[in-house]
Amino acid sequence: MFTVKVPATTANMGPGFDCIGMSLDLYNTITIEEIPQGLEIIIKNPQDIEIPTDETNLIYQTIVQFYQSIGKTVPGIRLVQEDHIPCTRGLGSSAACIAAGLLIANKLAGTNYSKEKLAKLGAIMEGHPDNIVPAFLGGMVTAVLDKDELHYIKIPLPSQLSFALLVPDFPLSTEKARQVIPKSLSLEDGIYNASRTALLVASMMSGEIQHLQVAMEDRFHQPYRIPLVPHMEDIFEKALSLGAKGVFLSGAGPTLIAVIEEEMNFKKKITPFLQQLPRRWDIKIVKPSQQGAQIQEFH
């Protein structure tokens, strides 16, 4: 019996569409036990989205895919899934399931692949590396999947930064949120995003966080997703007026993230504003997860 602990992640961080992500100190844990045959899945902490407890469960599907790739048969398993990452909210819950499935399969099959190799397999499965690579490796990561090669660099973050997750009570599917993005963009918008992505990475690495507000602006996806996230612009404006260093849509949304400094009492300040909005917005302040996905063994 063993447990895997996989973090939530936020992708894009504004301009870094499909290439920048960060893991967060908020985890799902999955405990696995081999059983003589079959599949048993128990979901603890159920959310508003029903998680499948049969062969269509994403963690189990990932395990099956891994075993197929090495030409072996999946053993009987009991899987107890305790979810704390909100589902379909742009916080990498699918990437967390894929990371969990790969870690579990790697351990059960005794393949002993490195986290880097598993991250690459996960990025190929997901189609983009921005959630899955930080889910495995922790911290903020910039990643490029070039054909079958994964190039990534972990970006050191200023230690005083925390991240306020503003999570609404409505879901948004990544598929729907990708459909609204145009297939081509202007050179002007390309320059706008490339310059901000570079500034974002440099601001984090140098600790010059006064640039974050501009560095987190985006023209690739956020403007097109505004209609899918009611009050997104109002919340951004309010968060910045309360002193947030930067604001962005988390992954494909609908969660919004404000970058804050620990001592600024942001939660208390923004709560009255959130409470008068028509939808419920929960707020959770987290730090980045430094280690990323981990296995814990029971002896």
| Residue among 64, 76, 81 nearest 35 (CA) | 76
> Is residue 254 at the binding interface for ligand HSE, with CB under 6 A as the rule?
no
Nearest distance, CB of residue 208 and ligand HSE, angstroms: 25
What the block records as the tokens of 205 is: 């690495």
Nearest distance, CB of residue 220 and ligand HSE, angstroms: 9
* 46: number of Cβ within 10 Å: 10
Question: Which part of the chain contacts ligand HSE (CB under 6 A), choosing from 76-84, 125-133, 208-216, 287-295?
Answer: 125-133
> Is residue 121 at the binding interface for ligand HSE, with CB under 6 A as the rule?
no
55-to-52, 85, 187, 223, 261 alpha-carbon distances in Å? 8, 21, 45, 38, 43
254-to-87, 141, 172, 224, 288 alpha-carbon distances in Å? 11, 21, 6, 13, 19
Backbone region of residue 29 per phi and psi (left: phi > 0; alpha: psi in -120 to 50; beta: other values): beta
Task: Tell me the longest C-alpha to C-alpha distance in the chain.
Answer: 60
Site track 130-169 with ligand HSE (rule: CB under 6 A), x = hit: xx--------------------------------------
> Is residue 172 at the binding interface for ligand HSE, with CB under 6 A as the rule?
no
Cα–Cα dist 134/154, whole Å: 8
Applying CB under 6 A, which of residues 174, 195, 213, 294 lies at the interface with ligand HSE?
174
Nearest distance, CB of residue 20 and ligand HSE, angstroms: 9
Cα–Cα dist 14/65, whole Å: 32
Question: Which residue in this structure is represented by tokens 């939808």?
Answer: 279
Question: Which part of the chain contacts ligand HSE (CB under 6 A), choosing from 35-43, 72-80, 123-131, 157-165?
Answer: 123-131
> Is residue 178 at the binding interface for ligand HSE, with CB under 6 A as the rule?
yes
Nearest distance, CB of residue 229 and ligand HSE, angstroms: 12
How, if at all, do strands 16-35 and 76-82 pair? antiparallel
> Is residue 219 at the binding interface for ligand HSE, with CB under 6 A as the rule?
no
Nearer to ligand HSE, 60 or 248 (CB): 248
Question: Which residue in this structure is represented by tokens 């019996």?
Answer: 1
How many of the chain's residues bind ligand HSE (CB under 6 A)?
13
Nearer to ligand HSE, 160 or 173 (CB): 173
Nearer to ligand HSE, 83 or 130 (CB): 130
Nearer to ligand HSE, 178 or 280 (CB): 178
In 156-276, beta strands by DSSP E = 161-168, 246-249, 256-261
Nearest distance, CB of residue 13 and ligand HSE, angstroms: 10
Nearest distance, CB of residue 11 and ligand HSE, angstroms: 4
Cα–Cα dist 9/157, whole Å: 15
Q: How far is CA 165 from the centre of its chain?
A: 12
Binding stretches for ligand HSE (CB under 6 A): 11-12, 17-18, 128, 130-131, 174, 177-178, 221, 251-252
